[in-house]
Structure 1
């Protein structure tokens, strides 16, 4: 499905604002900077947004909406056969890496620079914790895991690896997701020969 001219203009404004907000901050970025970078006019800007603060809040809301969907992926683990859980976790990591990779500036803004970035991060972590606790009760997650540490680790590792590897083109989202899923599901030690 192709975007309408209005959808294209709004997307261009979002993309320009993401980059400028991440580089200069919300306060130092002017509407004129955004429209110049997007190749549009101020009149076009005000068709979609009341102000740069309104644009910023819409960006955060959309990012939050996408993260909420991914944060709830753990609910599905209870419905899967044990043999399918590894693939499900890997698929969820791919989606998370893809989201962060598609929106690198917004990821940085939402998780590091927004006034309520800590609230956004905690909301994501709490969702993962709730799902892991549910899966712990079902015997899917090890009873020895501190779910808060695990959830914080997942968010922090994903965010950092995207910036280090995806944005530099050194690794794809899929490769990183496979590695992250393996580390979180199997650990880093070689268990061969231990009778496990």
Structure 2
């Protein structure tokens, strides 16, 4: 406990004014972490009418924001995204939120209707989870966000000119 209050630059009595125990502080941190991820996904929903570079930039920005939250504090990410009992439930909730966004974006005409929103959301979560484990620095995060965006928007098939 003394390490926690020293790093927070508060006294133990001040700490206990806000938290009844170390567990309460831990639960609060994990809850705030999960809420930030939920908020990032909510804010990533795309409005109708986006096209081309603007669409790609908005998607890349959303992916970058998720990566940024996950990279901000590697210890908190390890706990909140991988170790706590609720981590899998959180990821399932985030997948559902992403799939709901994709459904709305399909209805807005942004994405092909035959793509499964659920599978796309599961795929995106898997990609993000794997990259998060690598703990990339800020320039790598931008490159990864761009890669993920290009992969999801353009796929891997070589685009041949129409004949």
TM-score (norm 2): 0.84
> CA 1:174 to 1:65, structure 2 compared with 1: closer, same or farther past 3 Å?
same
The CA deviation string for residues 14-37 of structure 1, in whole angstroms up to 9 with x for no partner, is: xxxxxxxxxxxxxxxxx3564466
Question: Which of 27, 50, 61 in structure 2 is aligned with 1:81?
Answer: 50
Aligned to 1:175: 143
The CA deviation string for residues 22-76 of structure 1, in whole angstroms up to 9 with x for no partner, is: xxxxxxxxx356446667654453243211211112112211221112111343x
Aligned to 2:157: 189
Structure number with the bigger relative contact order (C-alpha 8 A, sep ≥ 6) is 2
The answer on whether the counterparts of 1:32 and 1:42 sit within 8 Å (CA) in structure 2 is yes
Matches within 5 A, 1:150-165: 150-165=120-135
The CA deviation string for residues 144-173 of structure 1, in whole angstroms up to 9 with x for no partner, is: 22211211221221122132151xx49522
SS in 2 for 1:172: helix
Stretches of structure 2 lacking an aligned partner (at least 5 in a row):
none
RMSD over aligned CA atoms reads: 2.4
Stretches of structure 1 lacking an aligned partner (at least 5 in a row):
1-30
Q: Are 2:117 and 1:147 aligned? A: yes
Alpha-carbon separation, structure 2, partners of 1:52 and 1:141? 46
May I ask how many residue pairs the two structures share in their alignment?
162
Moved over 4 A (4+): 35-41
> CA 1:39 to 1:73, structure 2 compared with 1: closer, same or farther past 3 Å?
closer
